[in-house]
Structure 1
Amino acid sequence: MSKISKEALNAINKKAGKNISESSVKKLASTVKPSTLQSEAELRRLIKQVSAMAKVPVTESTISEIIGAVKKSGMNPNNMEALMKLMLKK
């Protein structure tokens, strides 16, 4: 994965209220494949991993909203920055 933009990393840290390292985000992002965004179970797993990494609890209703937004957006599964921005809106 290429370098994560400072803007995206700052947004993650601001939203989480914690200091999450670029290497942690890259490590998690490296596990995401295009098929991850096509599978509801994989999306749920990813959202829960992000939640655990940020130490921010996410309700089942919020997880369902994020999954719906990802599926509705038709975003490019290779664009992790767009996925992070989408998740930060929730």
Structure 2
Amino acid sequence: MSKISKEALNAINKKSGKHLTDGNVKKLASTVKPSTLQSETELRKLIKQVSTMAKVPVSEATINEIIGAVKKSGMNPSNMEALMKLMMKK
């Protein structure tokens, strides 16, 4: 798994108003498999886990937007930092 940059983590913490540690994010990211981003059910589950971890509610509409953006992006499943940045834009 790639290291999450401090800039990305700081941006997430600033936007969410919460304090997530590199360890929290790595622990969650270690459960993500390449198939996670291919399965809408698994991706939905991941988004909800991130929402719970950050204590930031995410509406169904936003979840659907994130899923659509991930599918359109063709994102590399091993690049969690890119996924986190994408999710924070929503």
Query: What's the TM-score, normalizing by structure 1?
Result: 0.96
Alignment match, 1:58: 58
Alignment match, 1:78: 78
1:2–1:69: structure 2 CA closer, same or farther, 3 Å change rule?
Answer: closer
Q: Which structure has the higher relative contact order (CA within 8 Å, separation 6+)?
A: 2
Query: Residues 1-90 of structure 1: matches in 2 within 5 Å?
Result: 1-90=1-90
The one-letter code matched in structure 1 to 2:89 is K
User: Alpha-carbon deviation of 1:2?
Assistant: 3.7
Q: Which runs of 4+ in 1 moved over 6 A?
A: none
SS at match of 1:76: coil
User: Alpha-carbon deviation of 1:26?
Assistant: 0.4
Inter-partner Cα distance in structure 1 for 2:15 and 2:6: 14
Inter-partner Cα distance in structure 1 for 2:20 and 2:40: 25
Inter-partner Cα distance in structure 2 for 1:8 and 1:87: 11
User: Alpha-carbon deviation of 1:58?
Assistant: 0.4
- Describe the superposition over 1:21-69 as per-residue Cα deviations: whole angstroms up to 9, x where unpaired: 1100000000011100000000000000000000000000100000000
SS at match of 2:35: helix
Query: What's the TM-score, normalizing by structure 2?
Result: 0.96
